[in-house]
Homo-oligomer: A and B are copies of this chain.
Amino acid sequence: MSNTNTPSVAIKQLDANSKNFAAELDALLAWESVSDHAVVTAVDEIVAGVRARGDAAVVEYTQRFDGLAVNAMAELEMSQAVLQQALKDISDEQRQALELAAQRVRSYHEHQKQASWSYTEADGTVLGQQVTAMDRVGLYVPGGKASYPSSVLMNAIPAKVAGVGELIMVVPTPKGERNNMVLAAAAIAGVDRVFTIGGAQAVAALAYGTQTVPRVDKIVGPGNIFVATAKRKVFGQVGLDMIAGPSEILVLCDGKTDPDWIAMDLFSQAEHDEDAQSILVSEDADFLAQVQASMDKLLPTLDRQDIVKVSLRERAAFIHVHSVEQAAEVVNRIAPEHLELSIADPEAMLPRIRHAGAIFMGRHTAEALGDYCAGPNHVLPTSGTARFSSPLGVYDFQKRSSLIFCSPEGASALGKSASVLARGESLTAHARSAEYRIKD
């Protein structure tokens, strides 16, 4: 381990042609979030407390963990007037930026909305799927330093576009500290109710309901280890978004983008937290050296250089590849949350990309644009889960019911097959139920 006080950070160098590359890449990507025993025990107790005692338990935990001198749950609900006031209190520039972002996020997500469908078969049988929105969704917003207004927009707007009836936000206000940008974002996104509660107690209140907090159908939004552990615990009782790991970026560059731009794109990921991961992939070894030089030059100018240094030292890598095919292979093996294709013809590369949360195409599309206001969601699958999951979207707040409306003829024909198959599974009441509908 090198010293954290070195002025620059030498990025780990990998070569995709090296014999040990697969193992080195595995080691680079290794990440597992573990809830330790003490956290699990604490969360179990909090969730059980809220289920058993409702509001009283939530008030008690909020007194204890957030240092709030409140006596009743009613004091922990924030009125719409407070949200509107926050919207007035932020600067005009901030308000306009939030409103532009909200409008762009809304119009992108409108494209994701799914409609019911059905078709009729020759014998009159109708088959289809009815698509409906969830009734009520809970949005967890962290307090303190990890409190991001952009996350409020990214989580709330797809739910609203889906047509969710009621959107309940919970946001802890430790020692009474509020974030006006977060409250303004809630006002713009149309959040219906806000409770100033957090931690496992907020997750439990949303999952099971209390006298005051209504039970929701799904909980979305990021949180600390207590929140993540509580979400795992209530999985099945309510729907959940994914439980996010550290954020990552993979920049694929052909060597023709300004190395300062690429250095800053990598820093923008690394500044999130010490576990964040920044990876640069290029066929051009000279360019990798140029980006290292840019990073050395720019690192001292960063506000969050202490975090950036740890993140780069522990988790960053430059990967030298030797063909377009090899570049695509590396991308797909990593299945990055954010993929920047800083190359001349990103559209030609697209068909080779099988796994990525979001793809930022061309030299001008910095990841930061997508984080805030391009339109697509910034809640993305991390830690290689883009292999099987998708950005948060309207589809996460809609659900489907199968529709089957058999004509008498259809029921009779299908009944014969169903009877054979049911008897093959020794489920004879199934068979007899189908046989009642056979006509001959």
Contact = CB atoms under 8 A, between A and B. Distances in A.
Chain A: interface size category: 35 or more
A405 interface: yes
A78 interface: no
Interface stretch (A7-15, A194-202, A285-293, A389-397): A389-397
B406 A399 contact: no
Interface in A409-424: 410-412, 414-418, 420-422, 424
Contact of A430 (B130, B368, B429): B368
Contacts of A261: 433, 436-437
Interface stretch (A54-62, A320-328, A359-367): A359-367
Contacts of A364: 406-408, 410-412, 437
A401 interface: yes
Interface stretch (A65-73, A81-89, A348-356): A348-356
A120 interface: no
A222 interface: no
B308 A357 contact: no
A100 interface: yes
A235 B245 CA distance: 13
A432 interface: yes
A427 interface: yes
Nearest to A366: B433
Nearest to A271: B429
A33 B235 CA distance: 11
Given A264-B433, A433-B368, A436-B366, A402 B407 contact: no
A217 interface: yes
Q: Interface of chain A, helix or strand or loop or mixed?
A: mixed
B130 A433 contact: no
A80 interface: no
Interface stretch (A17-25, A42-50, A91-99, A168-176): A91-99
Contact of A401 (B356, B406, B424, B428): B356
A112 interface: yes
A113 to B, nearest CB: 12
A35 to B, nearest CB: 12
B391 A400 contact: yes
Residue among A181, A238, A369 facing the most chain B CB atoms (10 A cut-off): A369
A434 interface: yes
B365 A386 contact: no
A246 interface: no
B365 A404 contact: yes
B402 A366 contact: no
A121 to B, nearest CB: 9
Given A97-B417, A386-B399, A418-B373, A119 B127 contact: no
A419 B135 CA distance: 36
Given A97-B417, A217-B388, A361-B404, 14 more contacts: A101-B421, A135-B355, A239-B385, A261-B433, A271-B430, A272-B427, A303-B429, A339-B401, A350-B403, A365-B406, A372-B417, A373-B418, A376-B404, A380-B402
22 contacts: A93-B420, A97-B421, A97-B424, A127-B376, A132-B355, A150-B421, A236-B385, A267-B432, A303-B426, A308-B429, A350-B403, A361-B404, A364-B408, A364-B411, A365-B404, A366-B418, A366-B436, A369-B437, A374-B406, A376-B402, A389-B399, A391-B400
